[in-house]
């Protein structure tokens, strides 16, 4: 993951933690429990809160899967036409593309 993306995920995670403990996303304070514990299922003692990093990775991988397996959506046809050109997503070197296309294609490498 790139530094900027890590920073964004970290900032979002911090904001969620602050809101959960203090009711405000900007306030400071100590956590009463480890965040990873809160992300566990309720049966394991957590609150079943979705881990933002894991969710983000899963969403990007789902888009990569769609690029490889589905051909019926407009954005997939567009990516195949302009970037992949008959090649596999992990074999393409993208120099000029939107950050979304770059992210999807680089996660497969």
How far is 102 from 16, CA to CA, in rounded Å? 27
pTM over 0.85: no
- What tokens appear for 95 in the block? 């120099």
36 or 22, higher pLDDT: 36
In the chain, where the domains are located: 3-49, 53-107
Chain mean pLDDT for the chain: 80
| Selection from 17, 22, 58 nearest residue 39 by Cα | 17
- What tokens appear for 93 in the block? 């070197």
96 or 25, higher pLDDT: 96
Query: What's the pLDDT at 30?
Result: 64
pLDDT in tens, 63-108: 999 988 887 889 999 999 988 888 888 888 878 888 888 888 888 6
The mean-pLDDT minimum among 17-26, 43-52, 87-96 falls in 17-26
Q: What is the 3-state secondary structure (H, E, C) of 61-93?
A: HHHHHHHHHCCCCHHHHHHHHHHHCCCCHHHCC
How far is 48 from 108, CA to CA, in rounded Å? 28
How far is 109 from 95, CA to CA, in rounded Å? 15
Task: Check residue 49 and report its DSSP letter.
Answer: P
């Amino acid at each position: 993951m790139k530094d900027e993306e890590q920073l964004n995920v970290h900032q979002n995670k911090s904001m969620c933690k602050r809101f959960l403990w203090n009711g405000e996303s900007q306030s400071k304070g100590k956590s009463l429990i480890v965040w990873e514990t809160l992300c566990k299922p309720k049966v394991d003692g957590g609150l079943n809160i979705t881990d933002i990093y894991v969710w983000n990775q899963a969403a990007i991988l789902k888009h990569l899967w769609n690029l490889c397996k589905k051909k019926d959506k407009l954005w997939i046809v567009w990516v195949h036409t302009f970037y992949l050109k008959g090649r596999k997503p992990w074999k393409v070197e993208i120099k000029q593309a939107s950050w979304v296309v770059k992210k999807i294609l680089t996660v497969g490498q």
